[in-house]
Structure 1
Amino acid sequence: MVKLRNIQRISKVFVESIIGFYILAVLFGAPFLSHFLATFIFSIVVSIVSVLPLAITIKDFDEFEKVVLNCRPTNRYQLLAHRFSLGGVIGAWSGAIVIPLDWDRWWQRWPLPCIFGCLLFALIGFIVSQFELHTRYRVLNCQSRKIV
């Protein structure tokens, strides 16, 4: 059962990440006040995709350092959260490539390409993590138990 302290910690990290992604998006060139709602929705989507899975699976800063900074998840859930989050962040960043092109299409308007990229690459990260779980981790578990 999820404890109240964990819910408070996850909520705090989630709200802080929304603010952080909003500031980061503005620093990368997103409209500050003219498209406030669009930028705010973008920061919410990126926070849901990239921070929430990590906040749920990681309990303290030492684990955060091990999973996110050193890319060494300790269990299946952390591997899934790490790949999903990494895909979401890379997708949000790479989705901005089509914004400055002068095609004048509906899907080029801020923040749609970044949101689409975030969700698409998060899905790719999920697929990659499932592939890793079914190949590499199965081999590692068998070797550690001396089955192979």
Structure 2
Amino acid sequence: MPLIDPVTMSGINPVSGDISKSKSFPTEFLSSDMARIVTHIQPAILLSAYYFRFNALVADPVHTLLHSLLPVALLQVVYAVVCLPAAGSNMAKKLKPGEKRKGLEGGEYNHKIFTTIFALILTATTVPAVTALQILFGAPFTTHIEHTLLSSAHISLLALFPLFYIHGVDSVRWLEVASLYAPIDEVFGAALGCALGAWLGAVPIPLDWDREWQKWPVTVVTGAFGGYVVGKFVGGFAGLRGKRIELE
């Protein structure tokens, strides 16, 4: 017999919408040898490439950020396809005790391709929002528009593309991400680290050091890349994996 609210006389849904009661789990990474290799070398490649391009970034931020977009996107796509379960796929489902995961079938490959393209499209649509957020946090509003757009594109690729790849448009999971209540894992940790790193990266800009690298948005992008790598390793740490950030 359904429960009735004595005031409104309407049915009471026994399932609460409170995300604190969510049964979501941290992302189960693919278990292939290639996945284990890629998940470790991806941040090394990312930081190495950034280090060797840093002087070019300081000299010409727009040109460097623009020509770095495709390599960063390709690296993120390889990382996602090789290491992460695509949203809605069999690989994304949590296995029962004793159950073995089946290998990839033709449909899974097609699903990965579709999910990758869809995640890239969703990532592109977030660039204006990230740009607006940067402006709200103090980025130049009437000048350096290209700088802000391109830095936002890099932040979106780093922080949001992997999340779109594993969560798709699952409103429950995105509510957890937005409220910082998602279970900690490598992907969520990397996204948090990227956002926090970009925010901290803005600190040196107004300081009176008269250094060329202080110009917009060099330190913000540097913080985003560094924070992404640190957050990725911290989120994948066994002692933190699956835990949630308690804000109360």
Q: Same fold, TM exceeding 0.5?
A: yes
Unaligned stretches of 5+ residues in structure 2: 1-108, 242-248
1:51 to 142, 155, 160: 160
In terms of fraction of residues, the more helix-rich structure is: 1
| Structure 1 residue 22: Cα displacement | 0.9
Q: Which residue of 1 aligns with 2:88?
A: none
Over residues 89-131 of structure 1, what are the superposed CA-to-partner deviations in whole Å (9 max), with x where a residue is unaligned?
0000111110000111011110001111111111111111232
Q: Which residue of 2 aligns with 1:31?
A: 140
Corresponding position: 1:18 with 2:127: yes
What residue number does 1:85 align with?
A: 191
Q: Secondary structure at the match of 1:104?
A: coil
Tell me, in whole angstroms, the C-alpha distance in 2 between the residues paired with 1:88 and 1:36: 21
TM-score relative to the length of structure 2: 0.48
What are the ranges of 5 or more consecutive residues in structure 1 without an aligned counterpart?
138-148
| 2:222 corresponding residue in structure 1 | 116
CA RMSD in angstroms comes to: 2.2
Deviation of 1:8 after TM superposition, in Å, equals 4.9
TM-score, L = length of structure 1: 0.77
Match of 1:63 in 2: 173
How far 1:11 sits from its partner (Å)?
2.9
Please list every run of at least 4 consecutive aligned residues from structure 1 whose deviation after the TM superposition is greater than 6 angstroms: none
**Percent identity over paired residues:** 29
Say which one has the larger Rg: 2
Q: Distance in 2 between matches of 1:70 and 1:91?
A: 16
Determine helix, strand or coil for the equivalent of 1:85: helix
Aligned length: 132
